[in-house]
Amino acid sequence: MVAYDLSFSKDKKIHQYANAAGQSYYVDTITNETSYSIPAGYEPAPTDGWSLDVSKAWSQWINNRTGLATLIEPNPPPPRTYLDNHNVKAAFDLLQKVPESDEHVYRRPIGGVLRFIFPEAEGFDVVQEAEGDVTRSDFCVFKVLRKPGGTFYQYDYLLAECKPANESWRKTEVQLREQLAGTGNDSKKCYGMIQIGLDVQFYKFEGHELENVGGKMNLIHHDKDVVAVGAYLKAHPLPVV
């Protein structure tokens, strides 16, 4: 097994390695026992400081208290776009390497993209619907409201349909239009989104018409534009009733 020597703990009792996948494991230098769990007493604390280790051929950060390392920056700057989310970035990296991937693989990063644009802290909820039902969108973005003196309830803010590369935009737009026509909003007005491959297009559904909002954008190369259009949709909510 390929092993990368990461670090020793400050007390030299723990020798930390990483395997070829980047997964850390820990060897007790006294008992020679190996564990994939951080040994008790060496867990990082929120108050710990970290230092960039420039002695390695790869980037890693050393915990100033314990001496153990992490391969992922422990105090990253605030995310600017969804590409700063490691899971989203990893999913897109895979799609760039394997563009012929199936639909479910293309769907993987979209939940993270939508949750970045429509965060829970702003009253949104992103739900992935069941696969295989063409009458329902792949994702639904809900927004919570509350009637004066009443209870909370959700309404459809955006419906999203995901397809693999080289699928027909026209055919997918017909499918999305039918899904938007079935929205539970009394006004029958709702935003929509189509992702085909690595490209995305936003829409407004109003008066039974599907209208483009902005142009087609690449989710990787135009990430800031995608976020900007999402901000526009949030700033211009459609009436519910």
Domain with CATH 3.90.1570 in the chain: 82-235
pLDDT at 78: 87
CA distances from 239 to 82, 176, 187, 232 (A): 28, 19, 7, 15
Task: Please count the other Cβ atoms lying within 10 Å of the Cβ belonging to residue 6.
Answer: 21
pLDDT number for residue 34: 97
pTM: 0.81
Cα–Cα nearest to 194, from 205, 208, 186: 205
The bridge status of strand 60-63 relative to strand 69-70 is antiparallel
Q: Which of 119, 121, 161, 163 is nearest to 140 (CA)?
A: 161
Fold that domain 82-235 belongs to in CATH: tt1808, chain A (3.90.1570)
What pLDDT does residue 147 have? 81
What HEC string does the chain produce? CCCEEEEECCCCCEEEEECCCCCEEEEECCCCCEECCCCCCCCCCCCCCEEEECCCCCCEEEECCCCCEECCCCCCCCCCCHHHCHHHHHHHHHHHHCCCCCHHHHHCCHHHHHHHHCCHHHCEEEEECCCCCCCCCCEEEEEEEECCCCCEEEEEEEEEEEECCCCCHHHHHHHHHHHHHCCCCCCCCEEEEEEECCEEEEEEEECCEEEEEEEEEECCCCHHHHHHHHHHHHHCCCCCC
Q: What is the pLDDT of residue 133?
A: 67
Q: Choose among 154, 162, 163, 206: nearest CA to 181.
A: 206
In order along its 241 residues, the chain shows pLDDT tens digits of: 789 999 999 999 999 999 999 999 999 999 999 999 999 999 999 999 999 999 999 999 999 999 999 999 999 888 999 999 999 999 999 999 999 999 999 999 999 999 999 999 999 999 998 766 677 899 999 999 988 888 899 999 999 999 999 999 999 999 999 999 999 999 999 999 999 999 999 999 999 899 999 999 999 999 999 999 999 999 999 999 9
